[in-house]
Amino acid sequence: MTSTVRSSTVSDVLRRSATRVPARVALRFADREWTYAGLDAAVSRAAAHLLALGLEKGDRVAAYGKNSDAYLIGFLACARAGLVHVPVNFNLAGPELAYLLEQSGSSLVLADPLLREDLDDLEAPPQRVLPLRDEDGSLLAAASEGEVPVLDVEVADDDLVQLLYTSGTTSRPKGAMMTHRALLHEYLSCVVNLDLTENDQPLHVMPLYHSAQLHVFLLPWLMVGATNTLLEVPDPSDIMFRISHDGHRAFFAAPTLWVAIVNNPEFGLRDLSSLRKAYYGASIMPGPVLDRLREEMPELGFYNCFGQSEIGPLATVLRPEEHAERPDSAGRAALFVELRVVDSEDNDVAAGELGEVVYRSPQLCLGYWDKPDETDEAFSGGWFHSGDLVRIDEQGYVFVVDRIKDVINTGGVMVASREVEDALYTHSAVGEVAVVGLPDEKWIEAITAVVVRREDVTADELLSHVKGELSGFKVPKTVHFVDDLPRNASGKILKRELRDRFTN
């Protein structure tokens, strides 16, 4: 008896929904619409096409494109063909792009034609590139017509399905090795803890190369048979128009996009009353921004989703009914997640004390691709070490303080950059802000605020405002004004770039 009899894979998510609700619309993108049966057939054709190119089970296939139906089909086709999908940030170019392609050992790159030039400009361009869409001979063209093949490949749930590269905000990205089994467990956690149903009519706008949009929302909603709408780029005005015009009931955005929506002149003018579920995560949400969202849309249920790529990425959830009492919490452990908060010696800390959150879960990656030392370090002591500084209360609610590497040592006292950022966000002139520690002879690290202004304001005015919010030692020593903050496409601010830019 083959192992597939008891196995469950990522591509089975779509296949089962196609069997259950074949005629229902699974995905809308641009002017194209796919039923579940049609999307499932397209994935089989695309998988057969990839194998016909000479790829073999276990080969890595990089995906370098913006959101599209072709991107989703490419991921599911790799899963069905036993290939390992490698999502690549479409904003990367030059050495950063070359590093991911080389480190993953990708045999083929699936690319949007408009991004092909970035591949050709590399010092060592990839030898095999297949257009995802918009060209003759693209993967989408191969997926769209012809007989539906029967694939001669056996895929087991403990096979690798994706290398999820970490965001690399502090060091070179590492490829988290995700199995089918890990992602299936994570999808079930999402369905249960985020109340995902077939009637949600979700709108998807964040990049699919990022694990949050793909694995917390799109695939779990395909699992339950929802009708999904996908946008190529996350434009705040377009998002609000789509919600008001099409009646979407559920929507996820990274905090930076929620900030952009709140700051958009159309916010408060568009009718967003169809929304019933609003999700945020992937980085820390500024408290004042969440307060305004909840004030403007009191009937909307907000879910805080916290985790990281290595765990699929959902680790904890704060549900709507829990926001009133603990609005600054990241919630409690998801269905298949066990967590502890420990000190530097891996001893549990008392409730309310600071420590690093560590995990045990079937959702976890196997380790980092071709990085055994980093794997051993992250999984030391039988738990995965997250690098997140948190505290936990007696009821198991987690409160995220900061990334351990972003905590600022000012005069020997540790200050969380998030606390200072939240204080600055309470000033109406602050559009966006990032707080970092810069080397300083007197203070060890000088608390430094980098601010994008919504309206005219001086540094002295901001510092005076913060002095009314925080203890004196937490007030920034310096304020820099910039036009925008550097970030990756998943919305995480690149604080290492700010440290480099403003270090004398």
pLDDT tens string 346-360: 999 999 999 999 999
Region class of 317: left (phi > 0), else alpha (psi between -120 and 50), else beta = beta
Distance (Å, whole) CA 228 – CA 36: 11
Region class of 20: left (phi > 0), else alpha (psi between -120 and 50), else beta = alpha
pLDDT value of position 127: 94
Q: What is the DSSP letter of 213?
A: I
The 3-state DSSP class for residue 223 equals helix
Please state the rounded mean pLDDT for residues 412-433.
Answer: 87
Using 50, 70 and 90 to split pLDDT, how confident is the model at 177? very high
pLDDT tens string 384-419: 999 898 999 999 999 988 777 777 888 777 787 888
pLDDT tens string 211-266: 999 999 999 999 999 999 999 999 999 999 999 999 999 999 988 899 899 999 99
Distance (Å, whole) CA 425 – CA 451: 10
Using 50, 70 and 90 to split pLDDT, how confident is the model at 1? very low
**Does the global pTM surpass 0.75?**
yes
Other Cβ atoms closer than 10 A to 199:
12
Distance (Å, whole) CA 415 – CA 446: 11
Distance (Å, whole) CA 20 – CA 9: 17
Distance (Å, whole) CA 460 – CA 440: 20
